[in-house]
Structure 1
Amino acid sequence: MKRDQKGNSGKVGRHTRIFHYMADTIAWKSLSAGARATYLMLGKRYAGPGSNNGAIPLSIREVSDELRVGKSTAAEYLRELQEKGFAVVTVRGAFSHKNKRATEWRLTEYPSDTDGELPTKEFTKWRPESNFTVRPEVPQVPVAGPYGTCGRTVIAQNARNGT
């Protein structure tokens, strides 16, 4: 194996990276820590371009065991990744006596290796739903009186002044 002057082989070990453009999206910033950890689990199972994106196996049970959370919490993490556009289910898993198969996923950041679909990067389009509206006629900050915002402040000032 060839090595450079420092003794490095030049090969980079397998890794999962989060690009800045993705980390800067509203969707990524809104993910829970558990959903981010689950995304890293999916990324670790992705074997690179031309390999298995669209057929990445990961079950709720595996997420639950790895992150040491309950199955309902693990399911919530996976649902969060789907809702915010980071992952898409390609094959729904099942657990029965005849069929023990984990759900298969596609990371939207990369092209699909199963059907040739280009990266959809749906997370870049995600926006939070907001039912909260602010009425413009309602002041947002209390109006301060001459000595403060509290009536007791005025009484204390008057007592000090002897009025």
Structure 2
Amino acid sequence: MSSKYKRKGKAKFVQIWERMCKTEAWRESSLAEKQLYFELKRKFNGLNNGYIAMSCRQAADLLGIGKSTASRCFATLQERGFIVMAKASAFNMKQHDAAEWALTEVKNDRTGALPTHAYKEWKRPAVEKNTVPQQGRHVPPQVRQGGFEAERRVANG
């Protein structure tokens, strides 16, 4: 590797583009999801996109959240187009591999694919405001035995 790609003695930084922060997908993301993306981006060194290894357990430890919450954060970041899974995790007697991730805002070093910026197309799903049709639906009044007059007589004694 040539020396122009190595940063000797210089401080590292993480760059989050403003154009990404202005997207609806970023604004709708929770703080844990943004923090997970930041940690994935922190592991990115400019030459390893598609090889960024992080498991749900590692993410949970880094962020101080539960494993199921970390799993939901990975799923949400994938669904909104910020990351893609480059290699699935494997855990058995011989193999203990964490999932490997690729950021969609930079070139994928594993496949050579150009950045997709898939997060730009994400839109919040439309929510139906009224799920129960209004006409033809009503609850019939319940009639008690003896009616309301019987109750008044018992109460007045």
Range class of TM-score, shorter chain: 0.7 to 0.9
Q: What is the TM-score normalised by the length of structure 1?
A: 0.71
Correspondences of 1:72-151 after superposition (within 5 Å): 72-133=68-129
Is the aligned partner of 1:19 residue 2:17?
A: yes
Q: What is the TM-score normalised by the length of structure 2?
A: 0.74
Greater RCO, 1 or 2 (C-alpha within 8 Å, sep 6+): 2
- RMSD across aligned C-alpha pairs, in angstroms? 1.4
Correspondences of 1:33-52 after superposition (within 5 Å): 33-48=31-46, 51-52=47-48
Structure 2: where are the runs of 5+ without partners?
1-8, 131-157
Aligned-pair distance for 1:133?
Answer: 4.8
Correspondences of 1:59-74 after superposition (within 5 Å): 59-74=55-70
Deviates more, 1:124-133 or 1:78-87: 124-133
Aligned-pair distance for 1:91?
Answer: 0.3
Q: Distance in 2 between matches of 1:105 and 1:30?
A: 21
Structure 1: where are the runs of 5+ without partners?
1-10, 135-163
Q: Distance in 2 between matches of 1:12 and 1:66?
A: 24
Runs of 4+ deviating beyond 2 Å: 131-134
* CA-to-aligned-CA distance 1:42-89 (integer Å, 9 cap, x gap): 0011111xx110111011010111111111001011111000000000
Q: Distance in 1 between matches of 2:102 and 2:55?
A: 13
* CA-to-aligned-CA distance 1:82-140 (integer Å, 9 cap, x gap): 00000000100122221100100000000011111000000000001112258xxxxxx
Q: Distance in 2 between matches of 1:123 and 1:106?
A: 13
* 1:90 partner SS: strand
